[in-house]
Chains A and B, each alone.
Chain A
Amino acid sequence: MKKAGSFFGSRGFSASALTALIIAVVVALNILIYTLTSLFGLYLYSPITHDYGVSGATDELFADAAQKGKKVTITFCMAEDDLAKHGTGAFVLETAKAYEERYDFIELEFINLLTKMDEDGNVVTDRLEKYMTDLRGNENKLYTHSVIFSSGEGERENYRVITDTYSTAGFADFYTLDANGIAYAYSGEEVLGSMVAWVLNEEHKVAYFTENHGETIDVTFANLLASAGYYVDIINLRKESVPEDAAMVVISNPITDFERAKKGSGIETEIENLETYLAKGNGGKGGRLYVAIDPYADELPILEGFLAEYGIEISGVDGKYGYTRDIITDSSDSISRDSMSFVAGYGSGELGAKISSNVKKYKEGRVLLSEVSRLELDEALGAEALLVSSTSAVATNGGDVVDSAGGYAVAAYSEREEEGGAVSGVFVVPSTLLTNADLLVANGYTNKEFMYSLFEEAFGASAGIYGTESVIFDAGIVENLTNRMAIIYTVLLLMIPVAIATVAVVITVRRRNA
């Protein structure tokens, strides 16, 4: 009988040597193959592909244009070949081409901004000089990444220029950028479509943002207004009254209060200018006011007192640390762990139902709100809730639950009849995040559609582009999954091992008894 040798030496030295050789070969082979694949990129990779075409969401909107023989030209300020290789412009070109292919009345044009010539060698200096001023006389910047939309000719030409002046890559207006300036989503179909719609419209409304109270003019919101057919401008109500061309005044996240003169003094300050506009603006039909208030801002007694005249008050209390507003949290319908981001339903009043119906024609889903206070409404003064939290929501103040009834109004609209038959309207949302960039591009929520429908039904704007979907580059984002559903799924998944354990116990018991 052979003696047991060394660990691998049952049959002598040869087995050990063979084993050592095998290990050495495997190690060397792996290092070699690793080197080769690293050097020559020998990988199989399935890149994620996105569709940058058009979905047909604008078919109904553009049907009229085609029938009336209108023409729209989308002009790019670089050569087509260069644009096709441009990191951010290539997708815009792809979408523009899809529009050109789908609609006969849209054509693309490529001009060289340096030589000021088009593809056919024609000089376009005069046109470019014209485009450097917008239709209201404000300056336009023209760069190689500018996109010009035009319709009509000569004096009747309607045009709009999109120029990204805040990113280094260009075409940023077609994308949503995250906090680090990295493209998070692409919304080319909507931006191109809404600009085509813009130049097809004869009339363009103006939305004026107020200033001097720490307001933030949210670029995303401004772009949304542009997509809905508005020009955006700024107004200082201390110095001037609201211009006649104002279709809307926007008070966006003020941190200091507005001024109001004593009644009967005859002095016209900010609130008086607003009142005059609301009573007589929009060509005598009555003005429109959009107010977004940060729930964490200090009390604004004059502005909020003015809103209370329309039956809309923001709930809050004077506490130990000064005035704080109620904050709504909803642990069941929330999509965040802190329960402060939750989905809200549409109000059941006349306007809420209309908005809901408009949105549902194109998309299912609800509006996502984050960090929002609650509104107390006086229906007798014409106030109507447009967005309502679920019944599982609670109102907190200073960390304490102050109300658990749920079903809170988190956005409201109020109309009032003015002298002469005008009807003024005020929309209030006690949050800064209704028009947050991430939410507007999210395909699972209807924030954008809600805003378009609000503008259309309450503010008399032309319809925005409903039903387009943004291309979200970060495909890892989960939308619409509430905490409640996450808990249900977790419990269901845990039922699987429980079921296996139960089966095991049953089988074991039966075996013992057999």
Chain B
Amino acid sequence: MTAIFKRELRSYFTGAVGYVFLVIYLAVAAVIFAYSTLFSMSSNVTTFYTFMLLFSAIALPLLTMKSFSEEKKSKTEQLLLTAPVSIIAMVAGKFLASYVVFAGAGVLSSLYFLLLIPYTQLQVGVLIGNALALLLVGMVFITIGLFVSAITENQLSAAIGTIAVILAFLGIGLINSLLPSAFWLRYVFDALSIFTRFQTFTAGYFDLASLIYYISVSAVFLWLTVMVYDRRRYS
């Protein structure tokens, strides 16, 4: 797994993808930070992280779209499938590489709030909660991206498919506004909504249930990706 992880991580920075992702992510984060805090005279971290969540829904698919579909396109998939490494290790290695790139950008953008220390009383607990929430949500988005990339051959299809699935998860909570208030399905949708879970962290609560949710959903998509490649290896 380590070899796959290192290879994937290196590939992000031997090509342009890693640099492009970092540049765009950090530039957008700087602009959102400027407008949500510096020019608004506010140190409200929630606004910044909510926008970054929505931006990540579009940016992360661009990071993950080449993960597996590129292998198929460049016919290097066979090398992977016949390599003496388990499918799980392969998927985990690719996941970790993507996640490290995203987490690096996420942590760096969170450090922007240090600029506000001379001007306000930063609520560190809320800041850490929001940053953690974004990293967890990013983890889910990446695993979705890996899965969709695994089932498509085309990078563009992978990106669009990933965005569609992510928006579906984000939109689950919005359906509640169309349902009667006492309807039990609202409760189920709330429980499964990425956005509802995100809001608990942004309020400064460390929600174990949401942590389990994000980890379990990520695990499910990683498992699905493993199953896809397991089928390919033996077919």
Chain A positions near chain B (C-beta within 8 angstroms)? 2-5, 7-11, 15, 19, 22-23, 26-27, 29-31, 33-37, 42-46, 48, 335-337, 444, 472, 475-481, 483, 486, 489-490, 493-494, 496-498, 500-501, 503-504, 507-508, 511
Q: Flag whether B179 is at the interface (Cβ < 8 A).
A: no
- Which residues of chain B have a CB within 8 Å of any CB of chain A? 13-14, 16, 19-20, 22-24, 26-27, 29-31, 33-34, 37-39, 41-44, 108, 112, 115-116, 118-123, 125, 187-188, 190-192, 200, 204-209, 212-213, 216-217, 219-220, 223-224, 227, 230-232, 234-235
Q: Which residues of B contact A45 (CB under 8 A)?
A: 204-206
CB neighbours of B187 from chain A (8 A): 31, 35
Given known A19-B227, A475-B121, A497-B23, contact A37–B207 (CB-CB < 8 A): yes
The reply to whether A500 and B26 contact each other, CB–CB distance below 8 Å, is yes
In the complex, what residue of chain B is closest to A475 when comparing beta carbons? B121
- Whether A4 and B38, one on each chain, are in contact in the complex, defined by CB atoms closer than 8 angstroms, is no
Are B234 and A33 in contact, with the CB atoms below 8 A?
Answer: no
**Complex contact A496–B26 (CB within 8 A):** yes
- Cβ contact of B188, chosen from A2, A31, A504, A507, cutoff 8 A: A31
Partner of B227, one of A3, A15, A44, A500: A15
Closest Cβ neighbor of B205 among chain A residues: A43
B235, closest chain A residue (CB):
A4
Min Cβ gap B52→A in Å is 14
Q: How far is the CA of A9 from the CA of B228 in the complex (A)?
A: 10
**Is B119 a contact of A481 with CB atoms below 8 Å?**
yes
On whether A497 and B224 interact (CB within 8 A), knowing A33-B209, A34-B191, A46-B125, the answer reads no
| Contacts known (A4-B235, A8-B227, A496-B108); A478 close to B120, Cβ less than 8 A | yes
A-B contacts, 17 listed (Cβ < 8 Å): A11-B234, A15-B230, A31-B187, A34-B191, A46-B204, A48-B125, A472-B121, A478-B41, A478-B116, A480-B119, A489-B38, A493-B34, A493-B112, A497-B26, A498-B23, A500-B23, A508-B16
Contacts of A11 in B (CB 8 A): 230, 234
B107 to chain A, nearest CB (A): 13
Task: Identify the closest chain B residue to A494 (Cβ).
Answer: B30
Give the chain A neighbours of B41 by CB distance below 8 A: 335-336, 477-479, 481
Given contact pairs A26-B219, A489-B38, A504 touches B43 in the complex (Cβ within 8 A): no
Which residue of A477, A490, A504 is within 8 Å of B34 (Cβ)? Answer: A490
Residues of A within 8 A of B37 (CB): 478
| Distance in Å: Cβ of B169 to nearest Cβ of chain A | 12
| Nearest opposing residue in chain B for A25, CB measure | B216
Instruction: Specify the main secondary structure of chain B where it touches its partner.
Output: helix
Interchain nearest-CB distance for B122 vs A (Å): 8
Give the residue name and chain of the B residue nearest to A36 (CB).
B209
Contacts of A472 in B (CB 8 A): 121
| Distance between A378 CB and nearest chain B CB, rounded to angstroms | 37
Q: How far is the CA of A3 from the CA of B192 in the complex (A)?
A: 36
Residues of A within 8 A of B27 (CB): 494, 497
CA distance A459 to B123 in the complex (A): 41
Residues of A within 8 A of B223 (CB): 19, 22
Q: Assuming A504-B19, A504-B23, is B43 touching A476 (CB within 8 A)?
A: yes
A475 lies within 8 A of B191 (CB): no
Note all chain B residues with C-beta closer than 8 A to A29.
212, 216
Q: Write the chain B residue with the least CB distance to A23.
A: B220
- For A511, list chain B residues within 8 Å (CB): 14
A8 touches B34 (CB 8 A): no
Q: Counting chain B CB atoms within 10 Å of each CB, which of A37, A335, A511 scores highest?
A: A37
Return chain A residues, CB-CB under 8 Å to B191: 30-31, 34-35
Residue of chain A at shortest CB distance from B24: A497
- If A8-B227, A489-B38, A500-B26 touch, whether A444 touches B119 (CB-CB below 8 Å) is yes
Minimum distance in angstroms from B87 CB to a CB of chain A: 11
The 7 closest A-B pairs by CB, nearest first: A10-B231, A504-B19, A493-B30, A486-B38, A4-B235, A46-B125, A44-B206
B206 engages A30 (CB within 8 Å)? no
Report which of B14, B39, B115, B207 forms a contact with A337, defined as CB distance below 8 A. Answer: B39
A233 to chain B, nearest CB (A): 37
Q: Which residues of B contact A335 (CB under 8 A)?
A: 41
CB distance from B205 to the nearest CB of A (A): 4
CB-CB under 8 A from A497, the residues of chain B are 22-24, 26-27, 30
Tell me whether A34 and B205 are in contact (CB under 8 A). no
Residues on B with beta carbons closer than 8 Å to the beta carbon of A489 = 34, 38, 115
A30 near B43: Cβ-Cβ < 8 Å: no
Does A476 lie within 8 Å of B231, measured CB to CB? no
Question: What residues of B have a CB within 8 angstroms of the CB of A336 in the complex?
Answer: 41
* B221 vs chain A, min Cβ distance (A): 10
Q: How far is the CA of A501 from the CA of B19 in the complex (A)?
A: 7
Query: Which residues of chain B come closer than 8 Å to A27, judged between CB atoms?
Result: 192
The CA of A476 and the CA of B119, in the complex, are separated in Å by 10
A41: nearest residue on chain B (CB-CB)? B205
Q: Which of B112, B220, B232 is the one whose CB lies under 8 Å from A26?
A: B220
Question: Which of chain A's residues have a CB closer than 8 A to the CB of B116?
Answer: 478, 481
Q: How far is the CA of A455 from the CA of B121 in the complex (A)?
A: 30
Q: Are the C-beta atoms of A475 and B120 separated by less than 8 Å?
A: yes
Which residues does chain A contribute within 8 Å of B235, judged by CB atoms? 2-4, 10
Q: Given contacts A37-B209, A478-B43, A490-B34, could you give 4 more A-B pairs where the C-beta distance is less than 8 Å?
A: A22-B220, A31-B191, A472-B121, A504-B23
Q: Is the CB of B209 within 8 A of A476?
A: no
**Bound complex: CA A398 to CA B214 (Å):** 56
> Contacts of A7 on B, CB cut-off 8 Å?
231
Q: Please determine whether A30 and B42 come into contact, CB atoms closer than 8 angstroms.
A: no
Assembly CA distance A9 to B107 (angstroms): 40
Q: Which of A5, A43, A477 contacts B207 (CB 8 A)?
A: A43
- Give A483 to B34 CA distance when docked, in angstroms: 11
